[in-house]
Amino acid sequence: MNKIILKYLLKNFFITFVYIVLIFYSFGILLNLFEEIEFFKNLNVNIFVPLILTSIYMPSMIIQILPFIIFISSLWFMLKIRNNKDLLTLKVFGYSNLKILILLAGTSFLFGWLILIIVNPFTASMSKYYEKTKSNYSRDIDHLITFNKNGLWIKENVKNMQRIISAEKPDGYNLINVKIYHYNDKAELIEKIISEKADISENNWKLRNVTIFDHKKGIIIKKKLEKYEINSLYDHNKITTLFKNFDTMSFMNIILNYKNLIKKGYNEEYLIQNLHSLLSMPFLLLLMTGLASIFTMNTLRKSDNLKLVALALVTSVLTFYFKDLFLALGKTGRIPLILAVWSPVLALSLFTVIGILQINEK
């Protein structure tokens, strides 16, 4: 009998979860498809390209909102078994509120780890393909900064002239083999700057071992300088933030290649944030399932369904709001970044423990 009950609970809980994922996936495709169509509207592409890219993009988005999805799934499942009296039947067979909560929350916790280890590498690869494809099409749109196989390219307007910068990809806070071209409003080359290395930690770039070719009235004047400075709209942090999409990196990739990723120019602060955000996901799934169970087990009256759903949704929205708030505090240095990532988990743990004490008495 225990095996039958266990199979019933897990099977129906999983089916409910799949239904919710499909609902979010469908709505996500409809909403994101308009954005993709807007992006491709001036490009000569097949109508299926935006649809395919949207389908590829959505799995990574689903993982980002997975705690909310598991919360809705748990709430829906618990309301269903409560309203059809299955919850009372389970209690007759010795399944207390606490036992059901632990079973469902433990399943969500295990499911979270399976997502990180098995599913996340696939969604990261899909996100990488999505970013690469969009980047290729972006060249046909006036993009100001891009990475390709030849390195980094930047286009910006400064002091009535246009600047184009090419360099190898960042090595720490430096660009290697930098070439800077300045053009006037008639697209005529007026200056070319070559530098072995450029420190881009700030907007005021510091160039080393510089050669300047000054074009004046058809005459090229060459001069060499040991140091030279230019002011750019971009610094290291802005460049890495624009192009280091952490959805393209899987949990296992960060764990196994952490040091190599830093050497490649990835911002260590964002790496730490992403790593701990992924690590906290199984715990968030556990706690969100626990909260959903606590809300529904506190009463058996059907008349409370609407009130419970409203309270639960407000709670989940507040949870995500405070999650973003703590993350903002961590990024600005008000609190340690790791603490900022784990603060929602700690806060939800406290509420869950209090809720467990209440439902255990019923």
DSSP-derived 3-state class of residue 41: coil
Rounded to 5°, the CA angle 243-247-249 comes to 90
- Decide if 241 is inside a domain: no
- Decide if 203 is inside a domain: yes
Q: What angle in degrees, to the nearest 10, is found between the helix axes of 337-359 and 97-114?
A: 150
The H-or-E segment that residue 214 falls in is strand 204-216
pLDDT digits (tens, 9 = 90+) for 193-219: 999 999 988 889 999 999 998 877 677
Instruction: Give the list of residues 6+ apart from residue 183 with CB closer than 8 angstroms, or none.
Output: 161, 162, 163, 164, 189, 190
For residue 301, give the nearest of 67, 44, 83, 61 by alpha carbon. Answer: 83
pLDDT digits (tens, 9 = 90+) for 162-172: 888 888 766 76
Is 207 found in the same domain as 154? yes
Task: Provide the domain limits for residue 289.
Answer: 2-139+246-359
Is 92 found in the same domain as 124? yes
Average pLDDT over residues 3-31: 90
Contacts 24+ apart (CB under 8 A), 255-263: 263/172
Is 232 found in the same domain as 169? yes
* Burial environment of residue 139 by CB neighbours within 10 A (0 to 12, 13 to 18, 19 or more): exposed
Number of domains in the chain: 2
Chosen domain end from 236, 263, 284: 236
Is 129 found in the same domain as 261? yes
Tokens 């969500």, residue located: 108
Which region among 64-73, 113-122, 326-335 has the lowest average model confidence (pLDDT)? 326-335
Average pLDDT over residues 258-267: 71
Chosen domain end from 236, 269, 287: 236
Is 115 found in the same domain as 260? yes
Q: Regarding predicted confidence, which is higher, 247 or 220?
A: 220
- Decide if 299 is inside a domain: yes
**Quick one: pLDDT at residue 142?**
43
Is 229 found in the same domain as 285? no
Q: pTM here?
A: 0.73
Share of the chain above pLDDT 70, in %: 86
Is 54 found in the same domain as 22? yes
